[in-house]
Each structure stands twice: as C-alpha cells, then as structure tokens.
Chains A and B, each alone.
Chain A
Amino acid sequence: MPKRIQKILISNFRGATSQVDLDFDPAKNTILLFGENGSGKSTITDAIDFVCNGNFGSIKDRSSVRPNKHLQSLNAPMTSLKVSMVFDDKKWDATFDGTQAKIIGPAQRPLARILRRSSILALVTEEPRDRYKSLKAFIEVPGMEKCESALREAVKNTEKKLEEATRAVEQSERDLQLLWEAEGKPGKTALSWAKSETAKDISDLNTSLTNITATILSLECLSSPIITLTEAQLSLASAKKELDDINKKAEETDKKEARIERDVPLVEILQKTQDYLNVHPQLEKCLVCEQIVPASQLIQQLKVRLETMKEVADLKKDIEQAEKSIVLSEAKLVDACAALKEKIIAVLDFCQKSSISVIKNNGDWVSLQSEEKTIDSKNPNAVKKFAEKIKIQVSKCADTLELEKSSVQKSINHMNAIRNHVRSITENKESLTDLHEQAKRLKEILKVVETQRKFYVEEILNSISKTVDEIYKKVHPDEGLGGLSFFLKATTQGSLEFTGKFQNATDIPPQAYYSESHLDTLGISVFLALARYFEDQNSIVVLDDVITSVDEAHTTRLMQMFHDEAAHFNQLIITTHFKPWRNRYCYSLGPVGHIQLIELLPWNILRGITHTKTKICVDDLRAKLQEEPLQRQHLSSQSGILLECILDHLALMYGCKLPRKPEIQYTLGELLGGIDSKLRKALKTSVIDSVLKTPIKETALEPVILKINEITWVRNMVGCHWNIAGLGISDQDVKDLVHATLELADLLICPECGELPRGKKEGIYRKCSCGARRLLPLEMPV
C-alpha cells in the first residue's frame, strides 16, 4: 500500500481554535475537503505544510503577517500550538519556537508538495524570475547555484586584477615615456633607455649624498653650544639681580645684614625654648632668671616674639639661596664656555682638514685656528663672539652644500623612478600573462557549470512539457491551445520562460492570449507534471482551493483530470469551496467510491474548525428508508431529485428529445418521457468481474423504468406539494417509489467507483471511471 497521511491533529494553529482531528482513509488516495470560504481549508493545508515541510504556509507571503504573532490561534499562547501527523503508521509532532518549526519524529518526514492559488498566479502571470521562484521547490539546485555564484565572483575578481595590472603597466609606460622625452629620447625606445639607465651604478651618488649630509651636520654643531652659553649668561645675570633685590628689601625694612646675622641664633634658641615649654607646661618659674612666671605666660610671650622675628629669618634664607644660585650659574657659564670652545676647535679642525672644495675655498681656516688660540677661554663674551664669526663663515659653505645635496638627491630620485617603472612594467607584464590565462580558464569552467545547470533544469522542463500538454488537453481538448514549452534564458540565472500555442500561432506567451481559467489550468498542469516527475514513495500532493469557478463541461473534465492524475501520487488532498464539484460526487456524477469526502462546517471562534462526512444521496436515501417513523415527504422528495439527476444524465448521454424551453429545466415527467421506447428497450447494464474482466450479469433497465413511470406521481403528491389526496397515500407507495429509485440507481451506479456510466465510450458500450459498470447501448437506437 502506498504511504499516506492517516491522521492530522491540529491544536491552536491558525483557525484551529479547538483541536481538529482529521482521519484520512488510507485505502483512498484522494481526499476532497469541501468547505465554504473561511471554514478552515487553508489552515488544514498550512498545518500539513508545517508538519511535513516545516513551512509557515500561506501566511508566509502575506504582508504585515509575522509567524511569531499570527501562526498560533487568536489569543492562544505560542507554546500551545501543535500539529501532529500519522503517516505510514509513523507519527510526527510539530511545535513552534517563535522562529521555526520544531518537528519531532522519525528521520524521513514525508514531503508535501502544495499548490495554492497564489502560486498558480505566480507561475503563469508573474515575471520570469518570480515564475522560476514559484517552481524553485522542484527545480532548485541550491548547492550548485551557490558554487556557481562563487565561481562568478572568482571570474570577476580575476578580471579586476587583470584590469589593475594592465592599468599599472600603461601608467608606468606613460611615465617612462615622459622621463625619456625629458632626457631628449636617448636610445631606441623609452624602455630600452630605461633598462640601460637602471644598469648604471649609483653608489657614487649615494656616497656623495652621505658626505654632504654629514658635513652639513658638522657645520651646524656650533649653534647649540652658542645658545647654551647665552642661556648660562642670562641665568647668572638673573641670579645676581635677585640677590640685589633681596638686599634692597632688607634695607628698606630697616633690618640690616648685621642685625640679621645676630638675630638668627637667638631665633633658634627661642624656638627651642618654646618647644621645651610646650612639653613641660607645669613649670611655674623662668629657668634662667628663676622669676615666678607660669609656663603658659612664657609660651604666649615667646609666640609673639618669634612671629616678629620670622621675617628676619626668611630674608636670611632668601639671601643664602640667591648666593648659591649665583655660584651655580657661574659654574654653568664656565662649562658652557669650555664646551663652545671645544666645538670651535672641532669645527676649525674639520674645515681645515676637509677635502670638500666649497669649504676649502671659503675661509682661511689656518689663520682662524691661530686666532682661536688667542681667545681667553674664561671670557664668555670673547668666546661667543669668535664662535659667531666662525658660524658666519661656515654658513656661507652650508648654503652651497645644501644646493649640492639637493642636486645629488634629485639624480638619485630620478634613477629610482626609472627603476620602479621598469620593475612595475616587467612584473605586471609577467602577471598579466598568468592572470589572462587564469581568467580564461575560470570562464571556461563557468561556462561548463552554467551549461550543465541549465541543461539539467531544461531536461526536467522538457520532460514535463509533454506531460503538461497532456494534462492541459484533458481539461481543454480541441480548443486550439497547448503546445507548451519551457526553457531558461541563456544568460540569466533563475529565470523561467514558457511559450504555448494559440489557434494558428505558436511560440506565443500564453499569458497574452489565454483566459484566466485557461491560465489556471496551465498552472495546475505544470504543478502536477512536476509533482509527477519528482514523485517518490515519501511525498504527497496537496491542492489548496485552486479552482475558482468553471462551467459544467470543464468541471466534469477537471474532475476526470484530477482522478486520472491521482493515480500517479501516493495521496492527493484537494480542498475546494466549489460546490458543484462536491455536489457531483453526492449524486454519483463522479467516482465517489475512490475518494474520501470531508465537509467542513462553518467556522466560529468557539468551536473552531469542525467537519463531517459528506452524505452521498443514494446512501442517505437507503439509510432514511430504515428510519421509523417514515419520513414520507423527505423520502419522496429525495427520490425525485435522484431520479431527475439519473434521467438527466441519461438524456444528456443519448441526446434524448425533450420539450424546448427558455430555461433548461425539466420536470421528472418530461425526463422520463425523453426516454423513448426504443431506448428503454435497449438500455442494459452489466458489472465486470474484477479478475476475469468479463461481464458477470446483464440486466435490462426497462422493467424498472416502467415501474418508476407508474409511481412517479407519489413524488409530486407527497414530496413536492400540499394536497388532501397526498395525505391519503400509503407509506407503502412511498416505499415503492424509493425502492424503484434505488433499484435504478443500483443498476446504473458502479459498486466499485460509485459513479454513473458516462461519456467513456469503449467498443459497444459506455462505462464508469473504473470500467466496472457498463451501460448499453453506445448511442441512441435508430
């Protein structure tokens, strides 16, 4: 048995405000969930998507909807959300952590391939890129696409490097050309000239630059000691002035140097006495004169005297400090003078010995050396004056040396620039070759990857094109449409194009000419073809309300197409709000025996999603016949409706003659009259042995039709109108009508698929979907 969903339990998931418990019949591969709008069809589909695929379902693409707020039912906590599923006797439980589905269960979850109305629209009417996205679940190769993007990036990076290297070579060649032209274009080409230039030795230039730099530094060495000497002189002058100022202050306050000298020891004695008395406050007489004076009084007197004498002591300290400062400054001046003298000797010696022509020619260094010997080393002003004289002499040489240095430096820079350009050209030209080869190879690899990916996807698309056409033509035969072909744009990643046929025109975009319902069918056909292509034992197919409204003829063909396609899948779950579809099953106008019909009841927040088994008219009639007391009116009415349905079906099949009316509505009597005696006599049914595939029994319909003809009046009298005579009709008459109706239904409706034989012509008879019920004749007898 194919693997199928057997049970779905939904709690606090979207519209499921109360727990929804859905049991799917594993013996049937098609489940039709019928419900009016807002009854919970999409909630059930989304729940399947959630537990099978871990997706958020239809809310994923809706604006302003956030799964962490809106996936759970209104007012329900996120933690209470749960979807459970039993598939092939294995169970999975899915909960939600606010960001993603947490699914617990065996490793291999079933894959639900879900088609929603929004996807159909995306598939047929959106731009090629969005169309590709809508089919991505089928045709995507995410790993390879990621590698392809990385490869494309590698090609781009290599081309960028190639471009940079080319630019660098061009720039260096341009610069070299300018240098070459500035030199008067020596040699054959700029590069050959540059190469010969770079071969030249520039060590002489470097040595010359080093010597000139060293000489300039040597000549500059007088500046610093001159400044030091000047600073020492200023420092000494400042110290002397400070001493003078203190002395003047002492005189002004009438505190002569002599008195200061005298009072200082006394201050010290008094200070010590005060300290002693502070330690011995109990003394009552003076320690020197032994006069009776309390210690506290003596301490007070001492305090007054010491305050008066403090200024004297401070002045003394300042004078001592100023004198020390003078001594220190004098010593520094002597040192600075000696240091300057030393530098003078060094500079004169350097200049006298120097081989540099500028120095040689710019001073009589020997006579200056002689003059130096006459300078008093202890006379700072004399030393300084002589130093300034030499400095002036030296600075004349320094200016010339700076010019020479600049000239040499320029030559070196020039040579270096040539070398750099030559190196840049050589190196970049080498890497240009490599990069060029690399880019070429990467592009070739990219071409292979692109081609193979497109070939892979197109292989799928080609193989489904035929199936799409086949499915499509089941719904729209002989309408001059179809011839569908899918392909990828050669230069674009993730872009799906398709063309079709419209009357005489081929290769036209279907969305330009097809009607909305034709485009709907096209979308469904593409989806089913892909689902068929990728069908495996672990997948199921869900169609969520994909049919909006179609006419009678197309409804029959759509139903047939879905039944045919269901055979290719493990399980096909269809949700719909399209009532005619559901009603056709109720009246055996579809193979209801092969599908499970579930009817969703109107939703409200208290009871949430509720469902019931859809009643099949024949079964319902049979069940009601057993009820007591007998529901006379209901049974008569329902029998009449079922009879009208069967007779209308026969009239349509055989093209029976019926009275012409502005509206196509016929009474039971008219329909019965449409079956003339020739047809009545020819009508026979048979059941086929499922093993031998031969008719088991052939039964003529005439007896039962005649019986019905005789008793149809009961329907009008009891089931349709109020009248006194109707009240007198016996229950047995009503039962006879029901029995006759059921007899006809049982003879015509297939016991296997539950469908009336219909347009499926085969040889000499008509038959139902599964072929187990046959109906003769094939055409109206003449």
Chain B
Amino acid sequence: MALTADEKLAEKVTAELKRLNLILDVDVQTLRLPLAQGTVTAETWLRMAEKALDTAKKKEAKNA
C-alpha cells in the first residue's frame, strides 16, 4: 500500500534522528507511526530527550 505524505516524511525524520543519534532507546519503527498520525505530544518528546540523556550519561559513566 502506498505511503501517505505524513508517513513518508515520518520515515525520513526518524531515519535522520537515528543517524544523528538524537534518539536513543527508541525504536524508529515504533516512532514512525505516531509521528505520521500526529500523536507525539510535548510530554513524549521531553521523555524521549530525557531518556536519551540518561542513556548517554550511563554510557559515559561506564566508559569512565
């Protein structure tokens, strides 16, 4: 089935976020659908950023 404009763009956005390591611990496939449907809230973005920071900190601590 052909992808909608939202789905196409969501795919590009998630791929780019992953490439730049801006989202960690989040499956891009899982994120794509809510992005296309417009259901990612400000709270969800905050949690994603927090989680990414937390993971980055833990990784840093482990390496140290």
| Chain A residues proximal to chain B, CB less than 8 Å | 139-147, 150-151, 153-154, 157-158, 434, 437-438, 441-442, 444-445, 448-449, 452-453, 455-456, 536
With CB as the reference atom, state the residue of chain A lying closest to B53.
A437
Query: Which residues of A are found within 8 Å of B36, using beta-carbon distances?
Result: 143-144
With CB as the reference atom, state the residue of chain A lying closest to B48.
A445
With CB as the reference atom, state the residue of chain B lying closest to A156.
B42
Asked if residues B12 and A456 are in contact (CB atoms below 8 Å), the reply is: yes
A142 to B35, CA, bound (A): 10
Asked if residues A150 and B6 are in contact (CB atoms below 8 Å), the reply is: no
Q: Is B8 an interface residue (CB 8 A)?
A: yes
With CB as the reference atom, state the residue of chain A lying closest to B8.
A456
Query: Which residues of B are found within 8 Å of A151, using beta-carbon distances?
Result: 40, 42, 45
What 3 A-B pairs come out closest when comparing CB atoms?
A146-B38, A143-B38, A143-B6
Query: Which residues of A are found within 8 Å of B52, using beta-carbon distances?
Result: 441
Q: Is B30 an interface residue (CB 8 A)?
A: no
Query: Which residues of B are found within 8 Å of A452, using beta-carbon distances?
Result: 9, 12-13, 16
A438 to B13, CA, bound (A): 19
Q: List 29 A-B contacts (CB under 8 A).
A: A141-B5, A141-B6, A142-B6, A143-B6, A143-B10, A143-B36, A143-B38, A144-B10, A144-B36, A150-B40, A150-B42, A150-B44, A153-B42, A154-B42, A154-B46, A434-B53, A438-B50, A441-B53, A442-B45, A444-B22, A445-B22, A445-B45, A445-B49, A448-B13, A448-B17, A453-B13, A455-B12, A456-B8, A456-B12
Query: Which residues of A are found within 8 Å of B40, using beta-carbon distances?
Result: 147, 150-151
Q: What size tier do the contact residues of chain B reach?
A: 20 to 34
A157 to B46, CA, bound (A): 9
A452 to B46, CA, bound (A): 20
Q: Is B63 an interface residue (CB 8 A)?
A: no
Query: Which residues of A are found within 8 Å of B35, using beta-carbon distances?
Result: 143-144, 147
Query: Which residues of B are found within 8 Å of A444, using beta-carbon distances?
Result: 20, 22
Query: Which residues of B are found within 8 Å of A445, using beta-carbon distances?
Result: 17, 22-23, 45, 48-49
Query: Which residues of B are found within 8 Å of A158, using beta-carbon distances?
Result: 46, 49
Asked if residues B53 and A438 are in contact (CB atoms below 8 Å), the reply is: yes
A448 to B45, CA, bound (A): 13
With CB as the reference atom, state the residue of chain A lying closest to B10.
A144
Q: Mark B28-48, 1 if CB is under 8 A from A, else 0.
A: 000000111111111111101
With CB as the reference atom, state the residue of chain A lying closest to B56.
A437
With CB as the reference atom, state the residue of chain A lying closest to B43.
A154
Asked if residues A150 and B22 are in contact (CB atoms below 8 Å), the reply is: no
Query: Which residues of A are found within 8 Å of B17, using beta-carbon distances?
Result: 445, 448
Query: Which residues of A are found within 8 Å of B45, using beta-carbon distances?
Result: 150-151, 154, 442, 445
A437 to B55, CA, bound (A): 13
With CB as the reference atom, state the residue of chain A lying closest to B6.
A143
Query: Which residues of A are found within 8 Å of B39, using beta-carbon distances?
Result: 143, 147
A interface SS class = helix
Q: How far is the CB of B30 from chain A (nearest CB, A)?
A: 14
With CB as the reference atom, state the residue of chain A lying closest to B50.
A438
Q: How far is the CB of A257 from chain B (nearest CB, A)?
A: 91
With CB as the reference atom, state the residue of chain B lying closest to A536.
B2
Query: With A140-B5, A448-B13 as given contacts, are A145 and B49 in contact (CB-CB < 8 Å)?
Result: no
Supply 19 further A-B pairs (C-beta < 8 A) apart from A140-B5, A143-B38, A143-B39: A142-B6, A143-B10, A144-B13, A144-B38, A150-B44, A151-B40, A151-B42, A153-B42, A154-B42, A157-B42, A158-B49, A438-B50, A441-B22, A441-B49, A444-B20, A445-B48, A445-B49, A452-B16, A456-B9
Query: Which residues of A are found within 8 Å of B5, using beta-carbon distances?
Result: 139-141, 456
Q: How far is the CB of A488 from chain B (nearest CB, A)?
A: 14
Asked if residues B49 and A448 are in contact (CB atoms below 8 Å), the reply is: no
A158 to B53, CA, bound (A): 14
A146 to B53, CA, bound (A): 24
A455 to B52, CA, bound (A): 26
Query: Which residues of B are found within 8 Å of A144, using beta-carbon distances?
Result: 6, 9-10, 13, 35-36, 38
Query: With A144-B10, A438-B50 as given contacts, are A448 and B20 in contact (CB-CB < 8 Å)?
Result: yes
Query: Which residues of B are found within 8 Å of A147, using beta-carbon distances?
Result: 34-35, 38-40
Query: Which residues of A are found within 8 Å of B44, using beta-carbon distances?
Result: 150
A228 to B37, CA, bound (A): 78
With CB as the reference atom, state the residue of chain B lying closest to A146.
B38
With CB as the reference atom, state the residue of chain B lying closest to A140.
B5
B16 is contacted by which of A142, A442, A448 (Cβ under 8 Å)? A448
Most chain B CB inside 10 Å of its own CB: which residue of A140, A154, A456:
A154
Asked if residues B42 and A453 are in contact (CB atoms below 8 Å), the reply is: no
Q: How far is the CB of A280 from chain B (nearest CB, A)?
A: 94
Asked if residues A141 and B49 are in contact (CB atoms below 8 Å), the reply is: no
Q: How far is the CB of A175 from chain B (nearest CB, A)?
A: 30
Q: How far is the CB of B18 from chain A (nearest CB, A)?
A: 10
Q: How far is the CB of B29 from chain A (nearest CB, A)?
A: 16
A146 to B9, CA, bound (A): 13
A448 to B35, CA, bound (A): 13
Query: With A445-B22, A445-B49 as given contacts, are A150 and B9 in contact (CB-CB < 8 Å)?
Result: no
Query: Which residues of B are found within 8 Å of A139, using beta-carbon distances?
Result: 5
Query: Which residues of A are found within 8 Å of B42, using beta-carbon distances?
Result: 150-151, 153-154, 157
Query: Which residues of B are found within 8 Å of A141, using beta-carbon distances?
Result: 5-6, 9
